Amino acid sequence: MARSRTRPPRRELRVGTYARLDRDRVRRIGVPEVILGQGKTVPHLLGILRALAARGEGAIVSRPTRSQLAALRTQRRAGLPIVFRAGDRIVRLRGPLGAEYRPGRVAIVTAGTSDVPAAEEARAVLVELGLRPVLAHDVGVAGLHRLLRAVRTVERYRPEVYLVFAGREGALPTVLAGLVRAPVVGVPTSVGYGRGGRGEAALTAMLQSCAPIAVVNIDAAVPAALFAAQHFLLSAPARRGRRAR
Amino acid sequence: MARSRTRPPRRELRVGTYARLDRDRVRRIGVPEVILGQGKTVPHLLGILRALAARGEGAIVSRPTRSQLAALRTQRRAGLPIVFRAGDRIVRLRGPLGAEYRPGRVAIVTAGTSDVPAAEEARAVLVELGLRPVLAHDVGVAGLHRLLRAVRTVERYRPEVYLVFAGREGALPTVLAGLVRAPVVGVPTSVGYGRGGRGEAALTAMLQSCAPIAVVNIDAAVPAALFAAQHFLLSAPARRGRRAR
Amino acid sequence: MARSRTRPPRRELRVGTYARLDRDRVRRIGVPEVILGQGKTVPHLLGILRALAARGEGAIVSRPTRSQLAALRTQRRAGLPIVFRAGDRIVRLRGPLGAEYRPGRVAIVTAGTSDVPAAEEARAVLVELGLRPVLAHDVGVAGLHRLLRAVRTVERYRPEVYLVFAGREGALPTVLAGLVRAPVVGVPTSVGYGRGGRGEAALTAMLQSCAPIAVVNIDAAVPAALFAAQHFLLSAPARRGRRAR
Amino acid sequence: MARSRTRPPRRELRVGTYARLDRDRVRRIGVPEVILGQGKTVPHLLGILRALAARGEGAIVSRPTRSQLAALRTQRRAGLPIVFRAGDRIVRLRGPLGAEYRPGRVAIVTAGTSDVPAAEEARAVLVELGLRPVLAHDVGVAGLHRLLRAVRTVERYRPEVYLVFAGREGALPTVLAGLVRAPVVGVPTSVGYGRGGRGEAALTAMLQSCAPIAVVNIDAAVPAALFAAQHFLLSAPARRGRRAR
Amino acid sequence: MARSRTRPPRRELRVGTYARLDRDRVRRIGVPEVILGQGKTVPHLLGILRALAARGEGAIVSRPTRSQLAALRTQRRAGLPIVFRAGDRIVRLRGPLGAEYRPGRVAIVTAGTSDVPAAEEARAVLVELGLRPVLAHDVGVAGLHRLLRAVRTVERYRPEVYLVFAGREGALPTVLAGLVRAPVVGVPTSVGYGRGGRGEAALTAMLQSCAPIAVVNIDAAVPAALFAAQHFLLSAPARRGRRAR
Amino acid sequence: MARSRTRPPRRELRVGTYARLDRDRVRRIGVPEVILGQGKTVPHLLGILRALAARGEGAIVSRPTRSQLAALRTQRRAGLPIVFRAGDRIVRLRGPLGAEYRPGRVAIVTAGTSDVPAAEEARAVLVELGLRPVLAHDVGVAGLHRLLRAVRTVERYRPEVYLVFAGREGALPTVLAGLVRAPVVGVPTSVGYGRGGRGEAALTAMLQSCAPIAVVNIDAAVPAALFAAQHFLLSAPARRGRRAR
Amino acid sequence: MARSRTRPPRRELRVGTYARLDRDRVRRIGVPEVILGQGKTVPHLLGILRALAARGEGAIVSRPTRSQLAALRTQRRAGLPIVFRAGDRIVRLRGPLGAEYRPGRVAIVTAGTSDVPAAEEARAVLVELGLRPVLAHDVGVAGLHRLLRAVRTVERYRPEVYLVFAGREGALPTVLAGLVRAPVVGVPTSVGYGRGGRGEAALTAMLQSCAPIAVVNIDAAVPAALFAAQHFLLSAPARRGRRAR
Amino acid sequence: MARSRTRPPRRELRVGTYARLDRDRVRRIGVPEVILGQGKTVPHLLGILRALAARGEGAIVSRPTRSQLAALRTQRRAGLPIVFRAGDRIVRLRGPLGAEYRPGRVAIVTAGTSDVPAAEEARAVLVELGLRPVLAHDVGVAGLHRLLRAVRTVERYRPEVYLVFAGREGALPTVLAGLVRAPVVGVPTSVGYGRGGRGEAALTAMLQSCAPIAVVNIDAAVPAALFAAQHFLLSAPARRGRRAR
């Protein structure tokens, strides 16, 4: 059974006046809170990570900014137990995240090479949670043979959820959702220029899909990964008891 | 075990020059094609339904227009085996749809009374597919006690997916996703006036949610229902191995 | 050789104070001016058609409004030599249009049944110009086998230009442009609801296409047909030299 | 009684050809003009501050740019009596502002740590005006217990106005406005990425709120603070009668 | 002392499966829930009002649709104790609303005659709540003398909050906020055509105001009225301490 | 000398509680206030016109709605001295408007027949003010010879201002502004469908014009006419006379 | 009489393969072509200026980029006869521009200090053309006394056109157009943050103005200046007759 | 006969895990895949080019980023057989592209000097494919004589397709399409500031064109070039039959 380390965290952890960490979240919803780096001041982010590290807890930071990354590298040299993932787009504070899942596969499929970095974020989060994604990159829609061959390979692993990354016109999730027996989540990526560029066309096209897909925001690889992870929740203690209610 | 009648349809059914029905879809992706009424001419829609009825196959039509409804009522009197659901927002051509699902619950939750009609569409589709949704309406976010009580009631049924309908500011899926251990799909409804009205604010807010939710388009209750249904797919031949894990 | 009747019109025809018909256009650019019904008052439209009919010239009217159609039907009974095409979306004033083309095929392909009415407009205009389009409707992208079979059939006619109609997510022109050896022009149709509905998503997605396609505006079937027709221009006097190459 | 120093300024102060300072404003509307740094040239901003300092008057500058801050630091070393607040997002020219208020509390509540810097601007302005805000940061909506506990703490101070800062989906003001007996002003912050990012979704969602809130623009912390301050105006001569009621 | 009748309602009232009325809201936030007619089915709206009437409770309905108004008129003849206000834009179910306020004035100012109907909604709600608004209509900004005279008249009543209605370019709240010693809330109205029409320009301009105003959505007269009413809340038990300061 | 009748109106005329007519405007700015019909209730509009008629003053109403027109026709039969202009898009209450202008020509040029109705509004207003516009309709940009011939004809009248009406791509004002020695004002018309339709593309294109033109809103023919009229204000020769007032 | 030097330029001047200078424009339309720096490569811009300088002709460059400015400074040291105006936002190549105007005043009025740099561009262009603008800066709308005093001062010069610069909510042109007897052109400036920031709100508000103003694009100070200059055109040969009236 | 070197590539080339090059595309659709640099990581782009170079195949890279260009320059020194085109906007990996075309001309026309760099991209791609474009730059629409002369020159080469580049108001393709007997493709360029700037107005105006043009996205010079190239396809095996007609 896949599990991502143990010890569930306590209810609320206050850091300075500026943060109240919701340490009960993983118990309530089955996935840990991922800390959004972007938008936080460097001192705030460091304060949060140090407080967690001091308690031996783990964490995931997404979308760190350049100045945050610089500060984090300094902190790592000073002993903060962090590692960088997905080309520095994900920062992992070592320590238990408290999430446990039954085995099963999430497929991560990308339309083009430019979508790979965003997909790597999702992969890194799933791996940190103890899940094992299956990958197929640069599958395109302008060359159907490429696509069909890649789908056949991925389907061998019988994925239970698909995360499909596409920028530009964002057609891939629609095409894929006509081919596979599992829920497809479209993840538009900020690829493309001109009108509808930076993922806008892809997002809107996915919302208009003639196939039954669900969508997350542009580049929202991490929310997509967490959404996928919830499909593999054990009805472990926290849900065993629910029965009893 | 829940199942929605039998006999899987054949590959492609041509109707006039204007339609090629993808009768293999339910086998490939586990949910049947739902025919979008809106946008089709009345003769085209009737032609499609008559062709299916002639072969004894079932179908679901969503978003029928007024003139389509009028024509369909005439046809029903003339013997076309159809029934109207969800306040005439869904038309069901009686006959097998070819989909089979394991038992399990989809929760349908609405923020306000105005969201109920859209939610009824999703409910009707799920019921036609043989699934049994759990409902909680008018749950709000401006009265947290209402919300918490409703969630507690719904959770007793241990739903595996949530479809959460909200218009206006669209906050409910975010709040719910902080409370339950199952994937939450936000369905923005075309409720609200002024800037961001007709579901625009709700959709954008759901895309920006600080909780890990996925989203469908405004009023896309039917795609949401199909997406949810895929979570309950039986391992069909093509997926037999999944069981073995 | 295909040709759409003869006698080229003269330079400028003034109708009342409100219209100056550019009767030289077909000579200059190889396709006749199509009169946009929508937006004109009924008296203005009738005045223009009567003036042309009085000189024995032909014309095409696109997007007639309801009140224009009603008035035109009355006029027809009164002897105005008009016929209605494409479900009344095109009105043809009988008489020469002045355009001549070499033989060759335009392919008209639609993603869904809802796109057929727009495609019929393009077909009607091409036929009136003396060209012979090849059609394939409801070809989809969510069922690739349907699509591949349809493309194979159409390709037998070796079309030199493709007009590809799609609403919703607008993926079909992109997929087709990865399969065929001819220029593909995407025509977004006003199909779809919610964000990006009424053709907005389709248009933007086509603009972002990862394949080399060109695009016209939403429902701009008639401009697309004229653009396609220009590919089959005979070397008229002004272009005599081209032949010689 | 709270008051922010004395001596009301005179009517209009001309600075070069480029500025006419409205020194009567605090008397007319009860709050001083805050100078928007962003958009002004460095010489213009310095000219204005030097002219005020020369008369011994105070001022507040919001949203100073980098080059303005650099120039202001140089000026401070040269004797300009300024201090920097809220992480350099507010510059205070020491000296009387002319505003006086009765005691009373403004609550400043933020949804997340990323909203704190904007909230600090509001806090700084209120403090400079002599008011004493109550703070609760990182209150979230995805963890209702956090939220309810924080609201209970803040309510102890019986705030008469709430300024509620939220980015992303902007749900917090709506939820709060269902819990407290005071006017709630939503302040969207430029937090979030993708569609609706940089505060766009938050603003629109607040405008669509199903609770009776008022809203200011994205990151408009300073206007929000001034709007709140007006609730604590003492009955100045022109409003003497209000007391008597 | 102004008060709008008595007996506070109980916690939650369920109506059919489709509504849970939050009867505790007036106690929690000081203003009653106003039922948004628009978007509700006629049976749902009638069901809600009948359930409230059966308990002798009052209610306010805003933005009733035509079909709702027709049904309500029938119901009134059948004994439902309702009255129509503000040109049928507000429906009042007679009976206590549970809100009580200290005396005080809200100013309602409109830029043009076209803004009067929206302003009438706010006035009707305030009057039903027991408050006494002061009015000044068609005050303009293109004729400053009109404006200054009107402001002088209104100011005599020493209003504590201003609700300022404007469509088109929406300049009036900005100009007014430079003249009066009270919080100004801008209410954009759906007046104007072309780009920025239907209130869009007015809303955006108010958000960009160079004066410290807060804003509600286009035509959101009722939320504006409730927001204003909260300024006159009596210290209810839960807020007893505020008095003591 | 052109003049549009005499007797200047007095300062402010109050009608009911809902209107304050700015009767000083024509003296202040040289053009009378035009009453915007659209958005006003029928009783309000009638009230205003009756009050003016009672004093023997004239007025112009623009954009009357259908129900206003119906009511006005009834009133006319009952003796209200009104006439309808420009296909009922302008209503003229007979009586002096108070404006006087020196002679001079405004050119009104339209790109297509569909722009004529909007242009007729401008023409009607100018004529009512006593000015004499020069017209050229359906001048196009896709047929340059048409355009050049029309410009030559118009130029013979030496117009001092051009009002150029265009929908669709809105290119005409740009092309014209490269040909004539007078200020060109672009008036986008709500002609066109799909993306950028209803005048949106025309407006934006005019704002981006590579020629020095000024622009009014979509279909804003009346403001354009008033703006043009101000060029012909008498303050005698070089405006010397204004002093004398 | 104001005039800006003499010798009219010849028809077309080709520079490399990349530019055809329209040297006939000043004769045709009465104002010279202003070269838009932004968007041109440095070699292209230098090539154009050198070609003009070689013929002893003058030119105006607007919106030079940083790299263009750097290159131009180097060229100036190398002898290119240029001067920098309006804080380097305008570059003047010395030499005749060919435009001549009768005397008369353009008023340049700004809402705030932040609008001054854009207004300076217009002033510089007018001055180079030989016209003499009247200025009033930081006139505001939130302090009407400031505004009225400034208008009174400016009106003494009897300006024949007003260019009114405003960012944020863009109310000033509307207010001014209610006070003065001359055409008012609104120039929105890219001042403001959040929704509607960077001039978007100002532009839209001006388009919606309830007063008869015309508008140019955001920061389009130079087109506004040229548009204003055309009001002062002398009757050139082609317009000789106008004098005679 | 024009041809761009020989040896057609094989089906699919996998590079690392991140790229599957579609080497069959040129055979299927007649134009090679152009690699979009923008959006790819430097290692991904280098990996792809090295893999192709290792097989002796050629490639075209469009929109390289600065860091990609820096890395590519280093690689070139290390022996990667690349050349830079169109001011470094196109990178050519030497080697066969596999495309062959019959002779014929594509016209490339630009509205202004600022459009030249984008047009240069199209020219470079066409030249690399073995086609010979005809150029006319800075043709304008504000000076019709310039335009007419340039069109006459270009028409001498009897181009079969026009690629027309324009930013700002984007009027040129519309005007040109009224003058020439060949399909016109509009290419909006990211030229212009303010509302509709960066090519937005140009794109929308082209979509609204009253002439029959097709359009590509803003700055999409390379897709436009490929679309044009398809007009010159030789009848390859799969299309052999077309000849026979």
Q: Which residues pair with D164 in a beta bridge?
A: D109, D186
pLDDT at A235: 61
Contacts of D200 in chain B (CB under 8 A): 204
Contact (CB, 8 A) for E137 and F17: yes
Distance, in Å, from the CA atom of B193 to the CA atom of E220, rounded to the nearest integer, reads 8
Phi and psi dihedrals of D113, rounded to 5? -60, -35
- Checking if the pLDDT of C2 tops 90, the result is no
Cross-chain residue pair D231–E30, CB shorter than 8 Å? no
H168 Cβ under 8 Å from any chain F Cβ = yes
Of B113, B116, B195, the CB nearest to E218: B195
The stretch F183-205 carries a mean pLDDT of 98
Q: Are C210 and H62 in contact (CB under 8 A)?
A: no
Q: Does C112 touch chain A (CB under 8 A)?
A: yes
Measured in whole angstroms, how far is the alpha carbon of residue B48 from the centre of its chain? 21
* Torsion region of A121: left, alpha or beta (phi above 0 gives left; psi -120 to 50 gives alpha): alpha
Q: D223: which chain E residues are within 8 Å (Cβ-Cβ)?
A: 209, 211-213
Q: Which helix (H) or strand (E) holds D85?
A: strand D82-85
Q: Are D227 and D216 in contact (CB under 8 A)?
A: yes
Lowest model confidence (mean pLDDT) among D34-43, E3-12, H137-146: E3-12
Distance from CA of G229 to the nearest CA of F (A): 9
The 3-state DSSP class for residue F151 equals helix
Domain boundaries, chain F: 14-93, 100-234
pLDDT of residue A146: 87
Considering chain G, what is the average pLDDT of its residues? 91
Helical residues (DSSP H) of E35-179, grouped into ranges: 42-54, 66-77, 116-128, 144-155, 172-177
Distance from CA of H107 to the nearest CA of F (A): 19
| Residue among D22, A210, E30 at smallest CA distance from C111 | A210
Residue C237 confidence (pLDDT): 39
Q: Is C146 on the interface with A (CB under 8 A)?
A: no
A157 and A131 Cβ atoms separated by less than 8 Å = no
Instruction: Summarize the confidence of residues D13-17 as an average pLDDT.
Output: 95
In the predicted model, what is the mean pLDDT of residues C142-156? 92
pLDDT in tens, E20-61: 998 889 999 999 999 999 999 999 999 999 999 999 999 999
Cα dist. A2→A104, A183, E184, E201 in Å?
Answer: 9, 21, 58, 55
Q: What are phi and psi of D154, to 5 degrees?
A: -65, -40
Interface check G239 vs F, CB under 8 A:
yes
What is the helix (H) or strand (E) element at residue H194, kind and residue range? none
Phi then psi dihedrals of residue B216, to 5 deg: -120, 175
At residue H22, the pLDDT reads 87
pLDDT at D67 over 70: yes
- A207–B212: do the CB atoms touch at under 8 Å? no
Q: Using alpha carbons, select from G217, F174, F204, G122 the residue that is nearest to residue H112.
A: F174
Name the band, by pLDDT with cuts 50, 70 and 90, for residue A55: very high
Give dist(CA E169, CA E241) in Å, integer: 44
Q: Which residue has the higher pLDDT, D68 or B2?
A: D68
Query: Strands (DSSP E) along chain G, which ranges?
Result: 3-4, 12-15, 19-22, 34-36, 59-62, 82-85, 90-93, 99-100, 106-110, 134-136, 161-166, 184-188, 214-215
Question: For G148-176, how does the pLDDT look when each residue is reduced to its tens digit (9 = 90+)?
Answer: 999 999 999 999 999 999 999 999 999 99
State whether residue D200 sits within 8 Å of chain G by CB.
yes
Q: Number of helices (H) and strands (E), helices first, in chain E?
A: 9, 11
Residues E163 and E172: beta-carbon distance below 8 Å: no
- Domain G100-234 fold: Rossmann fold (3.40.50)
Give the pLDDT score at B10.
Answer: 52
Asked whether residue C114 carries a pLDDT value surpassing 70, the answer given is yes
Q: Is C182 on the interface with H (CB under 8 A)?
A: yes
pLDDT interval class at A143 (50, 70, 90) = confident
CA–CA min distance G218, chain H (Å): 5
Tokens coding D66: 């980098």
D46 is written with which tokens? 């310095």
Chains contacting B with at least 3 CB pairs below 8 Å? Answer: A, C, D, E
Interface probe, candidates C200, C203, C210, C218, chain A, greatest A C-beta count within 10 A: C210
Q: C188 - beta bridge partners?
A: C166
User: What does residue B62 show for φ and ψ, rounded to 5 degrees?
Assistant: -110, 160
CB–CB contact E175 G148 (8 Å) = no
Considering chain H, what is the average pLDDT of its residues? Answer: 91
Query: Which of E30, E217, E241 has the CB atom closest to D158's CB atom?
Result: E241
- Helix pair D42-54, D66-77: axis angle to 10 deg: 40
From chain E, pick out residues whose CB is under 8 angstroms from the CB of B151: none
Task: Please give the single-letter amino acid code of residue D11.
Answer: R
Q: Which of B148, B196, B208 sits opposite D169 (nearest CB)?
A: B208
**pLDDT confidence of residue C10:** 53
Cβ-defined contact of E28 to D178 (cutoff 8 Å): yes
Strands H34-36, H12-15: pairing kind: unpaired
In angstroms, rounded to a whole number, what is the distance separating the alpha carbons of residues E96 and E59?
8
List chain G residues with pLDDT less than 50: 1-9, 236-245
> From the CA atom positions of chain D, what is the Rg in Å?
19
- Rounded mean pLDDT of chain F? 91
Nearest Cα of chain D lies from the Cα of B163 at a distance, in angstroms, of 17
Between D1 and B197, where is the model more confident? B197
Strand partners, H106: H161
Residue B174 has phi, psi (to 5 degrees) of -65, -45
Q: What is the pLDDT along chain B (245 residues), one digit of tens a residue?
A: 344 444 433 578 999 999 999 888 999 999 999 999 999 999 999 999 999 999 999 999 999 999 999 999 999 999 999 999 999 999 999 999 998 999 999 999 999 999 999 999 999 999 999 999 999 999 999 888 889 999 999 999 999 999 999 999 999 999 999 999 999 999 999 999 999 999 999 999 999 999 999 999 999 999 999 999 999 997 643 333 333 33
pLDDT in tens, A108-136: 999 999 999 999 999 999 999 999 999 99
| D201 contact residues in G (CB cutoff 8 A) | none
Structure-token pair, residue B39: 């946008």
How far apart CA F39 and CA F47 sit, in angstroms, is: 15
Model confidence at H99: pLDDT above 80:
yes
Q: What is the ipTM of this complex?
A: 0.93
pLDDT digits (tens, 9 = 90+) for A214-227: 999 999 999 999 99
Locate F169 and state its tokens: 């791509």
Is the pTM for the entire model greater than 0.80? yes
| G190 close contact with H: CB closer than 8 A | yes
Sequence length of chain C is 245
Query: E95-147: per-residue pLDDT in tens?
Result: 999 989 999 999 999 999 999 999 999 999 999 999 999 999 999 898 888 89
pLDDT tens, position by position, D106-119: 999 999 999 999 99
Each as own residue / partner, the long-range contacts of residues H20-23 (CB below 8 Å, 24 or more positions apart, any chain) are H20/A137, H20/A138, H20/A139, H20/A140, H20/A146, H20/A150, H21/H48, H21/H51, H21/H52, H22/A140, H22/A142, H22/A143, H22/A146, H23/H57
Is E143 an 8 Å CB contact of chain F?
Answer: yes
pLDDT, tens digit, 9 for 90 and up, residues A64-105? 999 999 999 999 999 999 999 999 999 999 999 998 999 999
DSSP bridge pairs for H91: H61, H84
User: A86 touching H, CB under 8 A?
Assistant: no
C215 vs H216: CB contact, 8 Å cut-off?
Answer: yes
Amino acid of residue B148: L
Of F19, F36, F218, which is closest to E195 when you measure between CB atoms? F218
Of F112, F143, F177, nearest to H142 by CB-CB distance is F177
Q: Which of G33, G36, G215 to mutate to test the interface with H (most CBs of H within 10 A)?
A: G36
Q: Chain A: residue nearest H220 by CA? A: A194
CB contact under 8 A, G209 and F215: no
What pLDDT, on the 0 to 100 scale, is given for residue G222? 98
Give strand pairing partners of H185.
H163, H214
Q: What is the pLDDT of residues C53-75, one digit of tens each?
A: 999 999 999 999 999 999 999 99
Q: What is the pLDDT of residue D207?
A: 98
Residue B236: what pLDDT? 43
CA geometry: angle C66, C70, C76, nearest 5 deg: 135
Instruction: Show residues of chain C in contact with H214, CB under 8 Å.
Output: 185, 214-216, 224, 227
Inter-chain CB proximity B146 and E22 less than 8 Å: yes
The token pair at C70 is 């009603």
Report the pLDDT value the prediction gives residue G188, as an integer from 0 to 100: 98
> Position A5: which residue type?
R
pLDDT band for position E235 (cuts 50, 70, 90): low
Report d(CA C70, CA H205) in Å as an integer. Answer: 32
Q: H161-166 and H106-110 as β-strands: parallel, antiparallel, unpaired?
A: parallel
**Chain B contact for E38, CB < 8 A?**
yes
pLDDT tens digits, one per residue of H129-146 = 999 999 999 998 988 888
pLDDT above 90 (res H244) = no
Beta strand residue intervals within F45-133, DSSP E: 59-62, 82-85, 90-93, 106-110
Question: What percent of chain C has a predicted confidence (pLDDT) above 70?
Answer: 91
Distance CA B235, CA G209 (A): 64
pLDDT at C143: 85
Closest CA to F114 of C178, C43, B17: C43
Residue H203 phi/psi, 5° resolution?
A: -60, -50
Contact A20 D194 (CB under 8 A): no
pLDDT at position G235:
60
Nearest CA in chain C to H234: C181
β-strands H214-215, H161-166 pairing: unpaired
With beta carbons less than 8 A apart as the criterion, state whether B224 and B187 touch.
yes
Chain F neighbors of C188, CB-CB under 8 A: 194
Q: Which residues contact B157 (CB under 8 A, 6 or more apart)?
A: B105, B107, B134
Share of chain A above pLDDT 90, in %: 86
pLDDT in tens, H1-40: 344 444 433 578 999 999 999 888 999 999 999 999 999 9
| CA distance to partner chain C, nearest, from residue A190 (Å) | 12
**How far apart, in whole angstroms, are the C-alpha atoms of residue B6 and residue B100?**
8
